[in-house]
């Protein structure tokens, strides 16, 4: 009787598991390499903006630019507040973006629930078409209307115009979330005596809370960064932050230091807001993957 001895290193099972681990490691390394390559331009531009805001006027305009070795100064940030009513612009942006988000949620959540439950695809396509149409198409009629109503340079006009961006976004994001809510739960609430509004308020809304957070954050960011409507309808008292940065560009020269400082202060609140609610955004985006 002959017994064949197999060396330990030559075990087929071990070789297979080792190859599987190596393959998983290579796939993970390739994935993270692609993520780094995709994020590198964005991170580089943000780093350039922040470092530019910390340079002196001479170094900011110097060529070739110095990305790592430069004299740090906060004079550009002080100049932004000294030469412009920057706090007023921040307040205006908060009021307009917050008002647009709240009004958009108040109107968009019931609309999305209605479209999802009663399959009102015609209304959904109408909302999508209103979002696809370029915003500049609305601008002239709005300006004429708001001028006759004496609403130019008011928060009301800016909030209403920003809803063209925020409201369709909220509706289309929330349609998918409401479609994933089991219909049996709402039917049980109706049998127990709830109205459709009660089922919407007590059953549907608590289940789609992650989606509400994600839609609210996206609407707030789009309104915060909106430039087109504010440049025409905002006046001296209601100018938002994108208009304030645009006004820093002169005809003769561009003062890069204060411009980068203002852009940094505009960008940081959005980044901080995203980091704070990151968990809710991720859970909201993956909510539709779980079905009962």
| DSSP for 28-54, written as a single string | HHHHHHHHHHHHHHHHHHHHHHHHHHT
pLDDT for the residue 71: 82
CA–CA separation, 48 vs 214, rounded Å?
Answer: 29
State mean pLDDT over 52-74. 82
Q: Cα separation of 102 and 89, whole Å?
A: 20
Distance CA 240, CA 230 (A): 7
- Taking phi over 0 as left and psi of -120 to 50 as alpha, with beta for the rest, 119 belongs to left
Q: What is the DSSP letter of 225?
A: T
Tens digit of pLDDT for each residue in 202-243? 999 998 988 898 899 889 999 999 988 888 898 888 999 988
CA angle 113, 118, 123 (to 5 degrees): 75
Domain ranges of the chain: 85-247
- CA 84 to chain CA centroid, Å, is 27
Return the higher-pLDDT residue of 4 and 25.
Answer: 25
Write down the pLDDT at residue 290.
46
Q: Is the pLDDT of residue 4 over 60?
A: no
Look-up of token digits 């909302």? 127
pLDDT at 291: 45
Give 146's pLDDT tier (boundaries 50, 70, 90): very high
Work out the pLDDT band at 70, boundaries 50, 70, 90.
confident
Question: Which pLDDT band, with edges at 50, 70 and 90, does 61 fall under?
Answer: confident
Distances from the Cα of 176 to the Cα of 187, 222, 257, angstroms: 19, 20, 44
Long-range contacts of 138-147 (CB under 8 A, 24+ apart): 138/164, 139/228, 139/229, 139/232, 142/229, 142/233, 143/232, 143/233, 146/233
Q: Residue 292 pLDDT more than 70?
A: no
Check whether 120 has a pLDDT greater than 80. yes
Percent of the chain at pLDDT above 70? Answer: 90
Rounded Cα gap, residues 177 and 211, in angstroms: 7
DSSP-assigned letter for residue 288: G
The pTM of this model reads 0.82
| pLDDT category of residue 255 using cuts at 50, 70 and 90 | confident
Tell me what the pLDDT averaged over the chain comes to.
85
85-247 carries CATH number 2.30.30.40: no
């Amino acid at each position: 009787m002959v017994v064949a001895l197999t060396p330990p290193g030559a075990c087929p099972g071990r070789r297979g598991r080792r190859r599987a681990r190596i393959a998983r490691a290579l796939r993970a390394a390739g994935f993270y390499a692609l993520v780094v390559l995709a994020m590198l331009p964005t991170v580089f531009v943000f780093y350039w903006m922040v470092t530019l805001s910390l340079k002196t006027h001479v170094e900011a305009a110097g060529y070739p630019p110095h990305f790592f070795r430069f004299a740090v100064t906060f004079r550009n940030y002080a100049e932004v507040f000294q030469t412009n009513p920057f706090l007023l612009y921040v307040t205006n942006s908060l009021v307009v973006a917050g008002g647009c988000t709240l009004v958009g949620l108040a109107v968009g959540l019931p609309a999305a629930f209605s479209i999802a439950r009663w399959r009102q695809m015609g209304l959904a396509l109408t909302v999508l078409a209103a979002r696809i149409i370029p915003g500049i198409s609305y601008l002239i009629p709005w300006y004429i209307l708001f001028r006759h109503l004496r609403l130019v340079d008011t928060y009301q006009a800016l909030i209403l115009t920003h809803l063209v961006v925020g409201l369709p976004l909220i509706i289309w994001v929330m349609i998918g979330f409401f479609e994933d809510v089991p219909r049996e739960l709402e039917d049980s609430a109706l049998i127990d005596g709830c109205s459709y509004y009660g089922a919407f308020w007590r059953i549907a809304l608590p289940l789609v809370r992650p989606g509400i957070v994600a839609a609210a954050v996206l609407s707030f960011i789009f309104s915060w960064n909106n430039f087109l409507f504010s440049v025409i309808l905002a006046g001296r008292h209601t100018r938002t932050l994108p208009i304030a940065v645009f006004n820093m560009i002169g005809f003769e020269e561009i003062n890069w230091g204060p411009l980068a400082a203002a852009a940094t202060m505009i960008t940081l609140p959005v980044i901080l807001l995203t980091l704070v609610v990151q968990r809710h955004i991720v859970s909201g985006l993956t909510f539709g993957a779980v079905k009962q």
